[in-house]
Structure 1
Amino acid sequence: MGVEGRDRARTIDMGAHALSGQLGKTIQRLRKAYNLSLSELAEQSGVAKSIISQIERNETNPTLATIWRLSQALDVSIERVLSAGHEEPFIDKTTKGDTPVLFSDDGKVRLAIFGWIKTVEWLQWYDVHAEPGGVLESDPHQRGSIESLSVIEGEFEVQVADVVQKAKAGETLRYRCDRHHIVRNVSDKPAHATMVCILKAAVMD
């Protein structure tokens, strides 16, 4: 596994422990809005009654799979379940110094992690800067995952198995990233892109 793969894995492991303290209140509010008892929600979601009770009291950090099952049973999006509050506005700021940065094995591709820690288990996004000839080689992500590379400057090439496609500034490549994939800067100048990774399996399990 390359440095990107290892650091992504560590970042994902952190995600389950960074959920909002409002999560339990949100689950409880939605459950009561549907007039469901703890037992009924447990039966419909497949999540143990004791676990739901702990979540509502904010005594545990549930996995994304657990939150996904609860959101399906409550017929709401997982984004709403994870929101800070039903109508509570907020502005979250990450400074430049606090933005994690990863480098490819050849040191020529720099990825600044712009994604939010609360969404890292199913949605990640990066600011990508690559020197000429820079190569970012990645191990497969969860099955069903999709990556989207939107080129801002220069030209990138993406290779998935034996399939290769290029994109210039203003163009976007979307590709399955649940298999070995490679991103290259094939221009003779520094290239810049935004990369978004949707880890489908993380919310479908």
Structure 2
Amino acid sequence: MGVERGRERPKDLMTGAQVLSGQLGKTIQRLRKAYNLSLSELAEQSGVAKSIISQIERNETNPTLATIWRLSQALDVSIERVLATGDEEPFIEKSSRADTPILVSDDGRMRLSIIGWIKTVEWLQWYDLSADPGGELDSDAHQRGSVECLSVLEGEFEIDVAGAVQRARSGETLRYRCDRPHTVRCIGDAPGRATMVVIMKAAVME
């Protein structure tokens, strides 16, 4: 009887691996797209070849546990979540006002609440910006290829990037290179509010 189990086990394992692979591919692809990562970017962050990740997502290969672990680390999730049977597992995280760090400009007239996820700070930063009239925020250059997006919710702002100046009012968005010194100003007589998103490691702009 022990011999018969030994003969059946490889078939059972193969079937289980195929089922797992089908669910795993969907999960990896869903998480990668949720983080807005390309196959190349995930390959770079995980150390897993782009071709292998593509095969996993298309359910054309059964990855080793080591490969799954590297992908889970790059996607900032536990290996248990990656291997979970349900491919539509929800992710909900709540931060209170008290837990939200606030940065203040040198003149004390601009405040940036860090509402982005701290785990993505190396490639994506997200702020809720509020400003008093005349407030000014001077920033040093970020790494090459970085882009900043300022979506104005209230008031009027002015962006100065190395001498190039552009303005935006409520409902308008400015996108600009931030890999050089740049300044954000709240102009006019009214307070201003905006959402600021900094995309790090973007494609290098020539």
**TM-score between both structures, scaled by the size of structure 2:** 0.61
Cα shift at 1:83: 5.5
Q: Which residue of 1 aligns with 2:75?
A: 82
Cα shift at 1:187: 1.6
CA contact (8 A) 1:109 1:134 kept: yes
Q: Which residue of 2 aligns with 1:51?
A: none
CA contact (8 A) 2:128 2:194 kept: yes
In 2: Cα distance, 1:183 partner to 1:144 partner: 19
CA contact (8 A) 1:158 1:183 kept: yes
Q: Which residue of 1 aligns with 2:134?
A: 133
Superimposed CA distance per residue, residues 167-186 of structure 1 (whole angstroms, 9 cap, x where no aligned partner) = 00000000000000000001
CA contact (8 A) 1:160 1:180 kept: yes
Runs of 4+ in 1 over 4 A off after TM superposition: 76-81
Structure number with larger C-alpha Rg: 2
Which consecutive unaligned segments of at least 5 residues does structure 2 have? 1-23, 29-39, 58-70
In the alignment, structure 1 residue 176 sits paired with structure 2 residue 177: yes
Cα shift at 1:67: 1.7
Compare relative contact order (CA 8 Å, sep 6+) and give the higher one, 1 or 2.
Answer: 1
In 1: Cα distance, 2:72 partner to 2:186 partner: 34
Superimposed CA distance per residue, residues 29-87 of structure 1 (whole angstroms, 9 cap, x where no aligned partner) = 67xx9xxxxxxxxxxx9xxxxxxxxxxxxxxxxxx995254374524898995163343
In the alignment, structure 1 residue 101 sits paired with structure 2 residue 94: no
In the alignment, structure 1 residue 118 sits paired with structure 2 residue 111: no
CA contact (8 A) 1:99 1:112 kept: yes
- For 2:134, give the aligned amino acid: G
Which consecutive unaligned segments of at least 5 residues does structure 1 have? 1-28, 34-44, 46-63
**TM-score between both structures, scaled by the size of structure 1:** 0.62
Distance 1:99 1:109, change over 3 A: same
In 1: Cα distance, 2:112 partner to 2:196 partner: 9
Q: How does 1:6-155 map to 2 (within 5 A)?
A: 67=45, 69-70=47-48, 72=50, 74-75=53-54, 81-82=74-75, 84=77, 85-86=81-82, 87=87, 88-155=89-156
